[in-house]
Amino acid sequence: MHTPAHFPIRRSAVLLALIFLALGAQLAACRAQGTRPVPAGELKAIQLPKPEITVGMPLMQALAQRKTTRAFLDKPLPLQTLSNLLWAAFGVNRPRDVKPGLGRTAPSAMNSQDIELDVVLADGVYVYEAEQNLLRPVLAGDIRAKISTAPAAHAAVTIVYVAAVNDGSAQVDVGFIGQNVYLFAASEGLNAWFYAFHGPDAAAALNLPAEKHALYAQSVGYPPK
Domain spans, the chain:
1-33, 42-221
Helices (H), ranges, 91-148? 144-147
- The closest alpha carbon to 221, from 50, 99, 85, 107, belongs to 85
Do the bridges between strand 157-164 and strand 191-195 make them parallel or antiparallel, or are there none, so unpaired? unpaired
Kindly list the averaged pLDDT for each block of 10 residues, start to end, along the chain of length 225.
49 47 42 43 90 95 97 97 98 76 83 89 95 95 89 95 92 95 98 93 92 96 94
Cα–Cα distances in Å, from 43 out to 39, 46, 78, 139, 140?
9, 9, 17, 8, 7
Q: How many CB atoms lie under 10 A from the CB of residue 197?
A: 17
Contact 117, 90 (CB under 8 A): yes
User: What is the rounded distance in angstroms from the CA atom of residue 169 to the CA atom of residue 215?
Assistant: 12
The values of phi and psi at residue 172, to 5°, are -65, -45
Rounded CA separation 197/215 (Å) = 8
pLDDT at residue number 11? 54
Helix segments in the chain, DSSP class H: 7-32, 59-65, 79-90, 144-147, 150-153, 170-188, 199-206
Task: Report the alpha-carbon distance of residue 91 to residue 129 in Å, rounded.
Answer: 9
Beta-carbon contacts of 15 under 8 Å, excluding residues fewer than 6 positions away, are none
Structural class in CATH, domain 42-221? alpha beta
DSSP string, 21-86: HHHHHHHHHHHHTT--PPPSSS---EEPPPP--S-S--HHHHHHH-------BS-PPPHHHHHHHH
